[in-house]
């Protein structure tokens, strides 16, 4: 499989690609360019919804349980 795509963080677009690591290892997403030490490459904010409030949300299909709550 040879698929390339761009993924953005702020004003920085990074070229990523799907890489097949071989039999028994599977595929993964790798950067098609160098990443400097300490450089932020992804941000994934999490919205915490208390258990008592989950049933009241309109997001039942996009919530996932993490930890004790």
Q: What is the pLDDT of residues 21-46, one digit of tens each?
A: 999 999 888 888 888 898 877 777 77
Buried b (16+ CB within 10 A) or exposed e, 10-45: eeeebebeebeeeeeeeeeeeeeeeeeeeeeeeeee
Query: Can you give the pLDDT at residue 51?
Result: 76
* pLDDT (average), residues 55-65: 67
């Amino acid at each position: 499989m040879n698929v390339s795509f761009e993924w953005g963080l702020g004003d920085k677009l990074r070229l990523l690609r799907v890489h097949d690591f071989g039999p028994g290892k599977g595929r993964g997403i790798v950067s098609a360019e160098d990443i400097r030490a300490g450089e932020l490459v992804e941000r994934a904010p999490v919205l915490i919804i208390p258990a008592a409030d989950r049933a009241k949300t309109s997001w039942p299909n996009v919530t996932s349980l993490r930890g004790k709550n």
